[in-house]
Chain A
């Protein structure tokens, strides 16, 4: 596969390490009342779509960016590649 890195252009997927569902960005608030339940859902409950899937890839042998790659799990077609940092900020994450 080829991943179109937002900063570096098209790169072979061999340069990357796969992590999984990009929902890992949405880490719950540790002080919430039901924090344990929220963390349980965050960590263990994942969708397994046949189709479009947003997932985290790490450019390990490249610039060490974490990317959010939108990939169709049935065709491997990649429709979007974003810096995970930008996605995280857009999801309200800061420090």
Chain B
């Protein structure tokens, strides 16, 4: 298809053609085109359907502020919804589809909404779908989501990579228009480290869209010369296709670089996008200005766009939206559009300017004191109705209308730290206040300095001022002479009268009437206005629409615009893909896993793993013929209690505590006494939070007078270490104690069961006596194994059996477990996993994470007497509080079902027989439960009010969640070997 609306010139390379598809139709464009400019050149004005009413829409803008022309790009896994056609760079083979229409863009069945618009006004959802509440999720929401919406997701994994990067600079310049380039030149020549970032794919900003000359040259030549110099400076980094999305604390800015969005597929090894974190000592915002429309009836037809955008399409992209156009403007700048279009040979039917004294600038008809009152054309503009100064009406035929209500400085980033813009009556717009982010200043049009001359000079001077604060002297640079036209406008927000709808926010289908309704219903603050009407929401965040809404609200309230105030902007400046935020943290990199030294061995054994913290731990080791996990776990438990088993406990936190005050330090952090622990002995320690609640537990061994090894639970290893450093550095800074985490330095295995000593004797070097007398219960010693390998041996037991834990340096972990399994063959040694470990500790009544659950005290855990009252330990004072020491305080007890085939369920609550099942009758709850292959019964442990005095009582264990109820007897939590004979054997 020929490019019927393509003009001559522009910054496109017409020597090459690119083929692309829009809604299946093939078109041609050129390098340098955006999707929007290429469609325009091909005579396509209709590009999308509106969010709510499915009104036909075309482009409104030529940049990232675009509310209408949102399309789906690409197909398959790379399908990308809600992309602005105005920023999508054209490439050969680009596929784009319009959104939010069915079955087609030209005939959209949902456009029926438009006929019911009287019912779909502001607050419609709030008013209509209020009740019944149950209908919301099942009925209303799905229907609304289907009817009103944006693009769709591919629901496939994104095949591209995204990266994160970090940059540092003295001065970050946001925007590379005239002010940004002048600033970069000034700062670059001074030697400062400079980053110049622009969201466009061509540097130059507005200079690319205007016909200005700079000095003797065309603006493009000055831009090219300036860029050549900047690119040659090693201290300047020019970042194209890079949107600075936010100004965060302490000069940190975020930026998204679209490395490969302009390519069909990223080059090998290249990411699709990079999210940069830029540490900037100073930031200069040179983000320009955004034009605002005027609202009038049916001002949303395809072909009606901002006058500056129309000029940009014609000048930069050599594309006109129609062969015959008109311009509607309240300011002098709009007249430039007519001048530039006429220069390009486009027929400009008229310039309509509501100002009676409008200047005659363009060589076409000027209708001063006139306004556009209505438009027609079903899928694109055909006619505009104009009310002339004398009150008469006139119909003008035109295929496009450029509209300008003036320009708003792009203050977005100045608001990111809650800065509030201030009103400048001279340009009838908000300009940055002086409360922007620390270190950020503004130059050029973003600061309300609209002429090219002002942009250049303020860019240079603000850059120099920023650098001066850093002690860097910047010499003035020679800037070219440039136009310095004053702003001349008469505020004009919307055309009054008429019954039709005048659109303010085209992305959210908000009309002038909606704002009036919000006012009538008392949603009058700007924040309420925004939320009630949705004005300024969604992907464009109201960049083109907010101002009009505020102006109308001000008028209705009888206030001035600054009195009404403005909503402020939050990051990001433009939408950011989730992929960019995630970066490389996806799939297995989202959540790293830690593997123990014997992981490979466990994998060879067919272990089933579970994630605990980040660790992968073997849960059980299925043997051939075992089809269900319980078979494996029951076998492992029986084997340990019957002979011997080995379990990898490397994941427990290990903290080395050394120093002359080490014992005193442990006495401080453990609730029970530690100072007198003998060298060569291990002790169970209970750590409390300062509020008296149990924090963690573990065993700590004293290897020497000034050397202890503490173990923590796997889950709390990091938190306990942090806590210990807090106690040391903040509470006892003069204690001579040093802490270091050695979790990853040692591989550790539990060797448990009646034959565990016999097994260990086969590998422990003979000079070490580990007989019952020579190495009694709770002993610890540094030993050697397997002929000289240093190791640590602890006689501690979690299972309740005769048991040891043996630790060797990490690199020997794999070798040790293989040796243990070989040496243990004669005892039929088994490897056991965390499930069997859990079963045995429940059988033994040992507390674990389920019991130390952040609500339980030492008293609850049955260790109340362990809390020493003779010393100052963390948590000891507040554990004496009355409320924690009630007579009926929860106590840890065991539960057995009366019917041995019934199941005890963890999480179930305990009720007395015959009482209602409610919170007021709650007697406690079960924390851990399992099937005990030793007792041939389901068992549980948990907390029961006054539990110690209720042995033998029968209670109901109920779980309203699952609807289960079981009668259980209260028993001791020590189901197996309550006297502890086995572990001392």
Residues of A within 8 A of B (CB): 1-2, 17, 19, 24-25, 27-28, 30-31, 35-36, 39-40, 42-43, 56, 58, 60, 64-66, 75-78, 83-85, 87-89, 93-95
Is the beta-carbon distance between B249 and A76 smaller than 8 angstroms? Answer: yes
**CA–CA, A77 and B252, complex, Å:** 13
Q: Which of B252, B661, B690 contacts A43 (CB 8 A)?
A: B690
Given contacts A43-B690, A93-B734, list 15 more A-B pairs with CB under 8 A: A1-B249, A2-B249, A2-B250, A2-B279, A30-B876, A31-B872, A35-B877, A39-B877, A56-B730, A66-B729, A76-B250, A85-B729, A85-B730, A88-B729, A88-B733
Q: Which residues of B contact A58 (CB under 8 A)?
A: 722, 725-726
**CA–CA, A84 and B279, complex, Å:** 27
Is the beta-carbon distance between A36 and B250 smaller than 8 angstroms? Answer: no
Whether A66 touches B726, Cβ cut-off 8 Å, given contacts A30-B876, A95-B661, is yes
Is the beta-carbon distance between B690 and A89 smaller than 8 angstroms? Answer: no
**Min distance, Cβ A7 to any Cβ of chain B, angstroms:** 13
Q: Which residues of A contact B691 (CB under 8 A)?
A: 43
Q: Which residue of A lies closest to B279 (CB)?
A: A2
Q: Which residues of B contact A60 (CB under 8 A)?
A: 718, 722
Q: Which of B250, B661, B730, B878 contacts A39 (CB 8 A)?
A: B878
Q: Which residues of A contact B417 (CB under 8 A)?
A: 75
For residues 402 through 441 of chain B, which have their beta carbon under 8 Å from a beta carbon of chain A?
Answer: 417, 438
**Min distance, Cβ A6 to any Cβ of chain B, angstroms:** 13
User: Can you list 11 A-B pairs with a CB-CB distance of less than 8 A?
Assistant: A1-B252, A2-B252, A25-B731, A58-B726, A64-B725, A76-B250, A88-B729, A88-B731, A94-B733, A94-B734, A95-B664
Which among A27, A35, A36, A83 has the greatest number of chain B C-beta atoms within 10 A? A27
For residues 867 through 915 of chain B, which have their beta carbon under 8 Å from a beta carbon of chain A?
Answer: 872, 876-878, 880-881
**Min distance, Cβ A21 to any Cβ of chain B, angstroms:** 12
Is the beta-carbon distance between B877 and A30 smaller than 8 angstroms? Answer: yes
Say yes or no: is B732 at the interface (Cβ < 8 Å to chain A).
Answer: yes
**Min distance, Cβ A25 to any Cβ of chain B, angstroms:** 5
Say yes or no: is B735 at the interface (Cβ < 8 Å to chain A).
Answer: yes
**Min distance, Cβ A15 to any Cβ of chain B, angstroms:** 13
**8 tightest CB-CB pairs across the interface, nearest first?**
A30-B872, A94-B734, A2-B250, A66-B729, A85-B733, A1-B249, A76-B249, A88-B733
**CA–CA, A42 and B876, complex, Å:** 14
Is the beta-carbon distance between B878 and A27 smaller than 8 angstroms? Answer: no
Which among B250, B417, B877 has the greatest number of chain A C-beta atoms within 10 A? B877
Q: Which residues of B contact A39 (CB under 8 A)?
A: 690, 877-878
Is the beta-carbon distance between B730 and A17 smaller than 8 angstroms? Answer: no
Q: Which residues of B contact A94 (CB under 8 A)?
A: 732-734
Whether A65 touches B732, Cβ cut-off 8 Å, given contacts A35-B877, A36-B880, is no
**Min distance, Cβ B631 to any Cβ of chain A, angstroms:** 43
Interface membership of chain B positions 710-747, coded 1 if the CB is closer than 8 angstroms to chain A and 0 otherwise: 00000000100010011001111111000000000000
**CA–CA, A58 and B722, complex, Å:** 8
**CA–CA, A31 and B877, complex, Å:** 9
**Min distance, Cβ B718 to any Cβ of chain A, angstroms:** 8
**Min distance, Cβ A87 to any Cβ of chain B, angstroms:** 8
Q: Which residues of A contact B722 (CB under 8 A)?
A: 17, 58, 60
Is the beta-carbon distance between B730 and A88 smaller than 8 angstroms? Answer: yes
Q: Which residues of B contact A93 (CB under 8 A)?
A: 730-734
**CA–CA, A31 and B881, complex, Å:** 15
Is the beta-carbon distance between A24 and B730 smaller than 8 angstroms? Answer: yes
For residues 240 through 298 of chain B, which have their beta carbon under 8 Å from a beta carbon of chain A?
Answer: 249-252, 279
Q: Which residues of A contact B881 (CB under 8 A)?
A: 36, 40
Is the beta-carbon distance between B726 and A19 smaller than 8 angstroms? Answer: yes
Is the beta-carbon distance between B252 and A40 smaller than 8 angstroms? Answer: no
**CA–CA, A76 and B250, complex, Å:** 8
**Min distance, Cβ B592 to any Cβ of chain A, angstroms:** 14
Q: Which residues of B contact A78 (CB under 8 A)?
A: 250
Is the beta-carbon distance between B733 and A89 smaller than 8 angstroms? Answer: yes
**CA–CA, A35 and B692, complex, Å:** 14
**CA–CA, A64 and B735, complex, Å:** 17
Q: Which of B279, B730, B878 contacts A36 (CB 8 A)?
A: B878
**CA–CA, A35 and B690, complex, Å:** 13
Is the beta-carbon distance between B877 and A77 smaller than 8 angstroms? Answer: no
Q: Which residues of B contact A89 (CB under 8 A)?
A: 733-734
**Min distance, Cβ B208 to any Cβ of chain A, angstroms:** 36
**CA–CA, A40 and B881, complex, Å:** 10
Is the beta-carbon distance between A40 and B878 smaller than 8 angstroms? Answer: yes
Q: Which residue of B lies closest to A14 (CB)?
A: B277
Q: Which residue of B lies closest to A44 (CB)?
A: B691
**CA–CA, A1 and B691, complex, Å:** 31
Q: Which residue of B lies closest to A32 (CB)?
A: B877
Q: Which residue of A lies closest to B881 (CB)?
A: A36
**CA–CA, A76 and B726, complex, Å:** 24
**CA–CA, A60 and B725, complex, Å:** 10
Q: Which residues of B contact A17 (CB under 8 A)?
A: 722
**Min distance, Cβ B636 to any Cβ of chain A, angstroms:** 37
Q: Which residues of B contact A56 (CB under 8 A)?
A: 726, 730
Is the beta-carbon distance between B438 and A75 smaller than 8 angstroms? Answer: yes
**Min distance, Cβ B881 to any Cβ of chain A, angstroms:** 6
**Min distance, Cβ A16 to any Cβ of chain B, angstroms:** 11
Q: Which residues of B contact A87 (CB under 8 A)?
A: 730
Interface membership of chain B positions 682-700, coded 1 if the CB is closer than 8 angstroms to chain A and 0 otherwise: 0000000011000000000
Q: Which residues of A contact B249 (CB under 8 A)?
A: 1-2, 76
Q: Which residues of A contact B732 (CB under 8 A)?
A: 93-95
Is the beta-carbon distance between A84 and B880 smaller than 8 angstroms? Answer: no
**CA–CA, A88 and B872, complex, Å:** 18
Q: Which residue of A lies closest to B874 (CB)?
A: A27
**CA–CA, A41 and B466, complex, Å:** 47
Q: Which residue of A lies closest to B435 (CB)?
A: A75
**CA–CA, A64 and B664, complex, Å:** 21
**Min distance, Cβ B252 to any Cβ of chain A, angstroms:** 7
Q: Which residue of A lies closest to B740 (CB)?
A: A64
**CA–CA, A28 and B707, complex, Å:** 29
**CA–CA, A48 and B595, complex, Å:** 43
Q: Which residues of A contact B726 (CB under 8 A)?
A: 19, 24, 56, 58, 66
Q: Which of A35, A65, A95 contacts B735 (CB 8 A)?
A: A95
Q: Which residue of B lies closest to A35 (CB)?
A: B877
Q: Which of B438, B730, B876 contacts A25 (CB 8 A)?
A: B730
**Min distance, Cβ A72 to any Cβ of chain B, angstroms:** 11
**CA–CA, A89 and B855, complex, Å:** 33
Q: Which residue of A lies closest to B718 (CB)?
A: A60
**Min distance, Cβ B302 to any Cβ of chain A, angstroms:** 46
**CA–CA, A83 and B733, complex, Å:** 11
**Min distance, Cβ A44 to any Cβ of chain B, angstroms:** 8
Q: Which residues of A contact B725 (CB under 8 A)?
A: 58, 64, 66
**CA–CA, A39 and B877, complex, Å:** 7
**Min distance, Cβ A4 to any Cβ of chain B, angstroms:** 10
Q: Which residues of B contact A43 (CB under 8 A)?
A: 690-691, 878
**CA–CA, A56 and B516, complex, Å:** 51
Q: Which of A28, A31, A84, A95 contacts B730 (CB 8 A)?
A: A84
Q: Which residues of A contact B718 (CB under 8 A)?
A: 60
Q: Which residues of A contact B250 (CB under 8 A)?
A: 1-2, 76, 78
Q: Which residues of A contact B877 (CB under 8 A)?
A: 28, 30, 35-36, 39
**CA–CA, A87 and B252, complex, Å:** 29
**CA–CA, A89 and B251, complex, Å:** 33
Q: Which residue of A lies closest to B166 (CB)?
A: A12
**Min distance, Cβ A14 to any Cβ of chain B, angstroms:** 10
Q: Which residue of B lies closest to A66 (CB)?
A: B729
Is the beta-carbon distance between B729 and A27 smaller than 8 angstroms? Answer: no
**Min distance, Cβ A57 to any Cβ of chain B, angstroms:** 11
Q: Which residue of A lies closest to B739 (CB)?
A: A64
Q: Which residues of A contact B731 (CB under 8 A)?
A: 25, 27, 88, 93
Q: Which residue of A lies closest to B873 (CB)?
A: A30
**CA–CA, A89 and B735, complex, Å:** 11
Which among A58, A77, A89 has the greatest number of chain B C-beta atoms within 10 A? A58
**CA–CA, A87 and B731, complex, Å:** 10
Q: Which residue of B lies closest to A88 (CB)?
A: B733
Q: Which residue of B lies closest to A65 (CB)?
A: B729
Q: Which residues of B contact A28 (CB under 8 A)?
A: 877
